[in-house]
Structure 1
């Protein structure tokens, strides 16, 4: 939820991570591993999806 990595409304978490990475913002690798893990139960949608 750190705004350092840009807005998050309407974006999937992996898309936001990829955007931050491509902009050189160095998002945490642990978050990437969680988002791409097949065994992960992390919701891939935005935290604000259907709430805003």
Structure 2
């Protein structure tokens, strides 16, 4: 008594692959928000976020940006002087004084 072998194709439909047709390349569309200008405050906040993300000045959780800058200076890591001047100029605004990670619990 011989048994008939069952193939995978017996249960599933055979699908033939289609060859891709080359499409004409279109020029990239221009950016939508090109007319928006970045304010000076947004640029300053971007600089401070980059300072927060630069690990060569040490960790930034649990302390203010100015404390981190001063600690890096004490340890001879030469943090950017522009960051210190910006922090001293905006020392009353928590958006500038608190680090990027201050919204996350320790």
Q: TM-score range by the shorter chain?
A: 0.7 to 0.9
Aligned residue-pair number = 52
TM-score (norm 2): 0.44
Q: Gapped runs of 5+ residues in structure 2?
A: 1-52
Structure 1 residue ranges, 4+ long, deviating more than 3 angstroms after superposition? 38-42
Q: Gapped runs of 5+ residues in structure 1?
A: none
Pick the aligned partner of 2:60 from 8, 19, 26.
Answer: 8
Q: Point out the more displaced range, 30-39 or 13-22.
A: 30-39
Distance change in 2, residues 1:28/1:40 (3 Å):
farther
Q: Which residue of 2 aligns with 1:51?
A: 104
CA RMSD of aligned residues (A): 2.1
Alignment of 1:17-28 (within 5 A): 17-28=69-80
Distance change in 2, residues 1:40/1:33 (3 Å):
farther
Greater RCO structure (CA 8 Å; 6+ sep)? 1
Q: Kindly name which structure, 1 or 2, has the bigger radius of gyration based on alpha carbons.
A: 2
